[in-house]
Each structure stands twice: as C-alpha cells, then as structure tokens.
Structure 1
Amino acid sequence: MKKYIGTKQIEAEPMTRGDAWGKHLLREKPSTENFDDEGYHVRYEYGYESWSPKDVFEKAYKVADTPLDRMYIEYNELMDKHNKLVLFLGRKDAVEIAGENQITLMEVQKVQMHDYLLTLKERIGLMKK
C-alpha cells in the first residue's frame, strides 16, 4: 500500500470513554476496566462525531485556536524536518544515496530552513509580547 499524509480541521473536547458511550459515540459498551479512559469527543467538518483515545488523538492533532498556536505548529514541524535533513546530510553515505546534485541542493535547503526557523522564532517572540 502507498503512504498518505492528511490534514483536516476538527473540533474536539476532552471526554472519557464512559461519557462517550453515554453520548452514543461508541459502538461497543466499554468494560469497567476502561470506562474512565481519557480521550476526546471529536466532531469532523461534515458533522460526523466520534471518540478517540487521548494518546492517539494527541499524536495526530495540535490545538490551533489562535495564530500563535498555528505558528508554533509550523515552527515545530519545520524544526523536525530540518533536524531530519541535518541528520541525513551527516551520514557518510549521503552522497551515495542521493547523489552530489541532490546533496548540494539539500545543503542550500538546510540554510533556508534555518533562516525560516529564525524568522518564525522572532515572530513568535513578538506575538507573545
């Protein structure tokens, strides 16, 4: 199968598995052992509602209520990509894997990503004042 990455905007609120059962968001009744599991009541763009366990939800979604929230998301995602690029470029076999032309362009990209990170960091600092 091919890999896919999706982005969607949702609404959510904290809710236990038991409360989700009471609101008819689950197909199966929770057992007494997992009735108090933490999670989120999720409402998707077209009105579909469900419940998601806390760890699964928080891995997939970040709060994006304000411009500052969204800027932090952008900064953290870019930092992650930048760090992965730096790690790849530090490999002894990077040129063998990607070729000299790609490595040259990746080095340029790394500098541009770093500059972009600095700009975002400055904007975040200004917004926090």
Structure 2
Amino acid sequence: MTQEYIGTKQVTAWEQASPKKVKVCGIDCRKGDSACNNYCTGGADRAPAHPAEPGYAVKYPDGYISWSPKAIFEAAYLPLGHIGHLPAHQQRVIGEKAQLDDRLAKLDGFMGAPLFASLPEPEQKLLKLQADAMHVYRDVLAKRTEAF
C-alpha cells in the first residue's frame, strides 16, 4: 500500500525489496569501486550487492520511479500517511506539520539535554522562545488539518 512522504520534496513510495537489477553509480562502480553504494542513478544495470535488501520504490512528481535502501530513505523522508486523495495544498499543510513536529521533537529533546544547560542564559532564552513559537505554529497547523 502506498502513502505520501516528505523530504526536500513530496514523493509517493511503498516498501519493496531491492529489485533484481539496479542502476550503479557511474565509472567508479563499473570499475568495481568498493565505495560505490550500488544504488546511484546512471551507469549500467547490474545485480544489487544484497539481493532482496529492504527498501522503498519511490515515485517522484515527474513520474520517475527509483529504488532506495530502507535506512537511507527513512533518514530522508517523513511519512505523511495515505493523503493522496487530498488536494495538493492540503497535502502540503500536512507535510509542513510533519516536518515541524519532527523539528520540534528534536528541539524539545535538545532542551532536556546537558548541552542545553551549559549554554549561556541568553541563548537558552532564545531557544525557549523559538520552541514556544513552534508550539503555537504546530497548534495552528493541527487546527487547519482537522478540517481536512
């Protein structure tokens, strides 16, 4: 089953083991460079280094479909759920909220860490103000998405 994801762009993706053949990354891979990740675009088709490796088939807005290893994909994209039926502007609001939730969770975690306590008080105050503003922003986005 597909669902929407967001990174630097919104894509449609579904979990899929690595295909039988993948594009390898150019001349270095064709020469057998051990640093090649075997999943770059370009070059010639060949069998992946690890057949049936977990990953995602990824469909980009222009229709291009590629494959990405699971860890790489999940580090770059946040799941948005099954929102493909919604208008594009509503999908963007949901994506915006998902990104904000992720950033806010990281900031809240940082503010509970020893490093935060070691920062100068003026910087701590600014970070707290930033977190407060982000919480308000998140609440506004949550109210907007409730209407979808």
Q: How does 1:2-81 map to 2 (within 5 A)?
A: 7-8=8-9, 17-18=19-20, 27-30=45-48, 34=51, 39-40=56-57, 42=59, 50-53=66-69, 56-61=72-77, 66-81=88-103
- Flag the structure with higher helix content: 1
Is the strand fraction higher in 1 or 2?
Answer: 2
Q: In the TM superposition, what is the alpha-carbon distance from 1:28 to its structure 2 partner?
A: 0.8
**Deviation of the 1:70 alpha carbon:** 2.1
| 1:94 correspondence with 2:116 | yes
1:41–1:51: 8 Å Cα contact kept in structure 2? yes
Percent of residue pairs bearing the same amino acid type = 28
2:56·2:73 contact (CA, 8 Å) conserved in 1? yes
Kindly tell me the number of residue pairs found equivalent between the two proteins: 117
TM-score normalised by the chain length of structure 2: 0.54
Native 8 Å contact 2:21 2:46 kept in 1: no
CA gap 1:81/1:126 in 2 versus in 1, 3 angstroms = same
Where structure 1 has 5 or more consecutive residues not aligned to the other structure, the ranges are 1-5
2 CA distance for matches of 1:79 and 1:48?
Answer: 29
- Does 2:117 correspond to 1:117? no
Segments of structure 2 that go 5 or more residues without pairing to the other structure are 1-6, 24-42
Instruction: Pick closer, same or farther for the CA change 1:111–1:56 going to 2, 3 Å.
Output: same
